[in-house]
Structure formats: C-alpha cells, structure tokens
Amino acid sequence: MNKKSCLNCGYTISGEFCAHCGQKTDTTRITHISLIKNDILGSIWHVETRFFKTIKSILFWPGKTAMDYISGKRIRYYNFISLLLILFSFNVLTLHFYEKFATKEAIPESSEVRIFFARYSKTILFVIIPMLAVNAFFIFKKVKLNLGEHFILGTVSLLGILVIFLLDDIVSFMGLWKPLSKITDIADKILFVLFILFPAITYWNAFKKSYSKPGLMVRVSILYVVMGIESLAIIAVLYKIF
C-alpha cells in the first residue's frame, strides 16, 4: 500500500487534512478550472457564508452565539474581533454618506446617537466592551466565566448594536424619499429601542438557564444601572475634553 505525503510539509497523511500542518489532503496541481472553482469562488463563498451566518446568529441568538464561541465552537463563526472592525468601518462609511446626502432637516434626532458613536468610535471600542466585561463578571458571578469570556459576551453585544446601526442607516437613507418618511421614522424608533435593549437580550439569552427569571431580570437591571452611570461619566469627560 502506497503512503501519501502532504504536499506542503511532506508528513505522511490520512483522512481529509494533514495532522501536522492542517493542509487538505486532496490538494492537486492548479488548473484554470480548479483556480476558479476552489481558489476564487470557493474562498468568496466560504468567507461570505460564514460572515452572514455569524451576523444572523448574533442578531437572533446573541447569548447562545457567545456561549458557543466560549465553549470552543468557533470554526462556524467569523472571527468576532475582525467582524467588529469591519462593522465599525461600515458604520462610519454609511454615516458619512448619509450626512453627505441628507439635509439638516432630514436628519432625525435619534441619529445624534449614531453621530456621537461614529465620532468617538475608537473610544467606544476600547471602553464599552471592557465595561460590560468587568461589570458582568461581578454581577453574573454564578456562571463562573473569566474576564476574557465576559469580554466575548461584551463583544457580541456591541456587534449586535453595530448591525442595528447599519440597518438604521439603511432605513434613514430610505427616509430621504419623502413618501417613505413616516414609515422609516417608525422603523427608526423601533431600531433605537432594539439598540438600547440588545445587551439585555444578549445576557438574557446567555444566562437564562443559569438563573431564575426574576433573578436574571434583577441582575440585568443592575447591569444597566451601573453601565448607565459609567456611560454618563464617560460622556461628561469626552464633552469636557472635546
């Protein structure tokens, strides 16, 4: 029986992947067909599929998604930190174009939140997630997650907020057409409420099996009160500095 060697490292292989370097064992010579099918279309499909599946999971099952990632089920998800940076970039870009095309009268009051978010995006990136992580570490002590794991939960919360902001930007663009303005105003208010509630949804979805409903509700409420106080302090500091 002829033994097959990995084309990348020369290690003797069996199965679908090399146990030494991880390269697929069906790697063959590149042809024009394999280049299009595997390297180009395959890569795009793989990245896009995982990207959109991750966003869907974060929107509909944020807590479960975070807990899956924490428990080691990670290959099914797009890297959260990379996704965070991509969504931040998209938010800044869409807000820029919205402000470019919209008149001052067309910009709703709720968009001030998005403007503040975009203007201080770097500060928010480095402050909100650690705030959520540290506060949740003490408030949800029973689940015995470490700070790094709570950091993942905070990241998922912020990712959901960023996706909601992107949806809100799309709605706002649609609202520039006056016949749709009343509908988009309602949608904008709904999305704003979702933005406020998303961290609560995340922690409720993550810990609903670890606490009773009243106990979890109390803890989520405490998290919001503490985060509210800390956020007001940060906003006050930013206001004085800038």
pLDDT digits (tens, 9 = 90+) for 131-181: 999 999 999 999 999 999 999 999 999 999 989 988 888 887 777 777 777
Instruction: Please give the pLDDT value at position 37.
Output: 52
pLDDT reading at 28 higher than 60 = no
Instruction: Please give the pLDDT value at position 14.
Output: 74
Q: By percentage, how much of the chain surpasses pLDDT 70?
A: 74
pLDDT reading at 33 higher than 80 = no
pLDDT reading at 86 higher than 80 = yes
Q: Report CA-CA distances (Å) from 48 to 43, 54, 172, 183.
A: 8, 10, 25, 31
Instruction: Please give the pLDDT value at position 218.
Output: 96
Q: Sign (positive/negative) of CA torsion 61, 65, 66, 67?
A: positive
User: pLDDT: is 111 or 184 the higher one?
Assistant: 184
pLDDT reading at 27 higher than 70 = no
pLDDT reading at 41 higher than 80 = no
Q: How confident is the model at residue 1 (pLDDT cuts 50, 70, 90)?
A: very low
Q: How confident is the model at residue 99 (pLDDT cuts 50, 70, 90)?
A: low
Angle, CA of 83, 86 and 89, to the nearest 5°? 150
- Give mean pLDDT, residues 64-68: 95
pLDDT reading at 231 higher than 50 = yes
What is the residue whose two structure tokens read 């146990």? 19
Mean pLDDT (the chain, rounded):
80
Dist CA 134 CA 154 (whole Å): 9
pLDDT reading at 240 higher than 80 = no
Q: How confident is the model at residue 116 (pLDDT cuts 50, 70, 90)?
A: low
Which segment of 67-71, 113-117, 168-172, 205-209 scores lowest on mean pLDDT?
113-117
Contact 153, 206 (CB under 8 A): yes
pLDDT reading at 114 higher than 60 = no
Helix pair angle (147-175, 111-119), 10° resolution: 130
Instruction: Please give the pLDDT value at position 44.
Output: 47
Instruction: Please give the pLDDT value at position 156.
Output: 95
Query: How far separated are the first and last CA of the chain, in Å rounded?
Result: 73
What would the DSSP string read from start to end of 94-131?
HHHHHHHHS-GGGS-TTHHHHHHHHHTHHHHHHHHHHH
